[in-house]
Structure formats: C-alpha cells, structure tokens
Structure 1
C-alpha cells in the first residue's frame, strides 16, 4: 500500500489528481475532459457495427443444428449468391448530446452516406422537438461521414 503525508494527500485531492484514474496512464498528466455550457452546444455522431442474431439464438449459444434452424425460420434474413442464409450486420447510428448525454439511436442495414446524413437530420429534429437547439456536430472520419452531402 502506498502512503503519503496528510498534507500531500490534501494537495493531491485539491488538484483532483489523488486517484490514478484521474491521470493519463501514458503521460501521467491529469485528464482533460471537455465540457459544454448547455445542451445542444455539441452533439456527437457515430456508427457501431453489430452482427445480427437469429430469433431463438445463434449457433454459438444453442448449438450448430438448432442455430441453423433458427436462421432458416427468422424472417427477413438476406441470402448470399450460394443460397446460404446470412444473418448480416446491423449498424447502430447514435447521436449523443455532449452536455446532457441524452442519446438518439437508429438501427439500419448500412452505413452509406445517404443513411449517415439522414440520421443526424432526424436526430436534430428530435432534439429540437425537446427544446434543444443544436449548434455543432462532431463525428469521426468514417467513410460515411466523408461524403460531400
């Protein structure tokens, strides 16, 4: 156990660096978090990819035979060229207000530029209906967000 003098502990607490979780592991510098003055000053847009699971569970949970049966009986699964069922991928488009942490999310079958630009438009409409006016939008440099739309 690491012990420090009471005075040192008070100074570290006052500077908000008394816990290792408050420090960057690489540099040892205090973490700097950006904060915004009010809801809507910045919203963050991102996409996460998930594999679809057939109704009743996939083969890793219920076994290969039952998993294949669940695939065949799940409506709406796409078929590949060789006629095998594909569970496919779902793309979760999220829009989060950086101040209040209120989130808006939609699930889509793709992350094309058309979808990626339509989701924030609907999210801004959703936020506006709740009295939040959006000032800025932040996204990563994902391919869907680099379109000219």
Structure 2
C-alpha cells in the first residue's frame, strides 16, 4: 500500500534503475520522473545493495521509539477503558496523560470507538443515526430537555446479572420503573426521579419538581422545554398547565428524530451504563436508592468532555 502523496510505485522505482543502467544521468532521470535527485540516488543505491527486494515499499516507522509510552502505562489505559468505558479525555485526566496520547494507544491496540460500542456490554454494534449539526444554548435555563427511560425492575435477590441468563430469571419480570429526567442544554445540569408511570399528570408534577431543583441551583427561569411526541407530553392538559406555570414554551422534536432531544437521550445512556447496570443490585429498592447519589455525582464531580472536562455545576451562576 502506498500513501496518498507517493510519487513512485515499485514499477516507477524499477524504471529509475533501468534508465540508470541504460546510461541516463541521475539529473535527467529525476527531471523525467518528476522527483528529486536524492530520491533517484536512494533507489539506485538500494537496488545496488539489495537487488529487486530493495525496491519494495517499507514501513517508515523508526527502528526505535525512545519516547514511546511504556507498556505498563498502555496497559493501565486499556484496563481503564475496558472497566469504565470512557473516552480519551476522561482517561487522560485520570492517568495524567494527554488525551491525544490515550487516543493513539487505543488506536494502536485497535480498541473501537465508544460510538461503535453498546454502552452496557461494550460490544461493537452499528452506530445509530447522528447529526452533524451541534448546538448549545448560551445561558442556563434557555432550553431544557425532558424524557422518560423505562427500565425493568429487579426482582428480590437479583436479576440475570446476579444469577445469569435463564428462563427462570426471564420469567420473574415484575414490571418497570420509569426514570423521568430533565437536562439543561447549556450547563448539562440534570435531575432524575423514578416514578411508577409516564402519564401526563406524572410528567407534569415531575417537571415542576425538577424546575424547583434547578431554581435551587441558580437556574431561576426555564424558557423552553423540549420533549418527544409521546401523548403524555403532547396531549396532556396537566403537562400544558405545568409548562405555562413556568412561563415556558413547549417545543417538540420532529417525529422519529430522537437526536433532536440528544442531550437527555445521552443522559439516559449514561444513566444505564453508570448507575442502573454498573453494579449487580440484588433488589429494586437498592438500585432506586442509589439514583440520588449518582445524580449528585453527575452534577458536581463527573467530568464532561463537552464542558472542557468540568462538571455541570461549573457552568451555573454563583
């Protein structure tokens, strides 16, 4: 394989040698081939020393790399990536390495990009639809994203993560938890609750509590609320009244375009990977009890690459 800027193939190098053997001067060969005199001399000398094999393309990698990252450090990067399933910015800060160094280590070991992996298992999957148009509102409260994530409840004694996949475990389904979430577009401040359903009245009451949580953290006004087109959002009078009580405008995403509500969709994915499925909980109550602490960690400690490695609280009014 030849790089995109290569002037010569093996055939071209052989032509240089043939013209030299025919009595051409090196300067004339260089002009005819459109390369430098040094390039011509290199291939003539290499052919003289090694014969036909000397014309074959070789790797440009140096024989030694004294500044290469030590193997034990590379292994720490790989272990942390496998265990935490986080990106180069997060891993770099954890290990005190430049993110670019972490990226090169991951690529050198053919570790797939996070966007190509299932957030729960880490298995490579087909990437979902993405948009190249990224945006961020200028101030907290200008736009908030709202959504519900449905999670299967954990039977007492644990589910399949504790006992393994089997028909007995599969048959013990006891219903679902509905995780309601609200995310501020500018700061990424998040608030989540586990509720018994996703009815309009439930969504409306959650929105008012979430707005109070945001107010306690310096976001005194919510201007716009964006949701998908679920009936509990679009047709509920309770939901419309709650949005009006906040003095906000209700926006809806285009049908079948969940990436337009991407910030809360990304929170849902993070919730699954770092809270719901990170530990093998032995009861549904234990998992539910861990949510509030995780949200506090998310808002005050967890680093966000979109915020320059800082937590959401760093963007809130002081």
Residue number among 126, 134, 138 corresponding to 2:222 in the alignment = 134
Distance 1:31 1:61, change over 3 A: same
2:182 paired residue number: 95
**TM-score, length basis structure 2:** 0.31
RMSD across aligned C-alpha pairs, in angstroms?
A: 3.3
Distance 1:41 1:65, change over 3 A: closer
Structure 1: which 5+ residue stretches go unaligned?
Answer: 6-20, 69-83
Structure with more of its chain in helix, by fraction: 2
Cα distance, 1:143 vs structure 2 = 1.7
Structure with more of its chain in strand, by fraction: 1
Contact in 2 for aligned 1:57/1:67 (Cα 8 Å): no
Distance 1:65 1:140, change over 3 A: closer
Structure 2: which 5+ residue stretches go unaligned?
Answer: 6-114, 116-127, 239-318
Cα distance, 1:148 vs structure 2 = 2.2
**CA distance, structure 2, for counterparts of residue 38 and residue 118 of structure 1:** 25
Distance 1:126 1:2, change over 3 A: farther
1:44 paired residue number: 145
Which has the larger displacement, 54-63 or 125-134?
Answer: 54-63
Higher relative contact order by CA 8 Å / sep ≥ 6: 1 or 2?
Answer: 1
What are the superposed Cα offsets for residues 105-143 of structure 1, whole Å, 9 maximum, x if unpaired?
000110011101111111111111111121111111112
**CA distance, structure 1, for counterparts of residue 3 and residue 147 of structure 2:** 43
Superposition map of 1:35-114 within 5 A: 35-58=136-159, 61-62=162-163, 67=169, 87-114=174-201
**CA distance, structure 2, for counterparts of residue 115 and residue 52 of structure 1:** 19
1:14 paired residue number: none
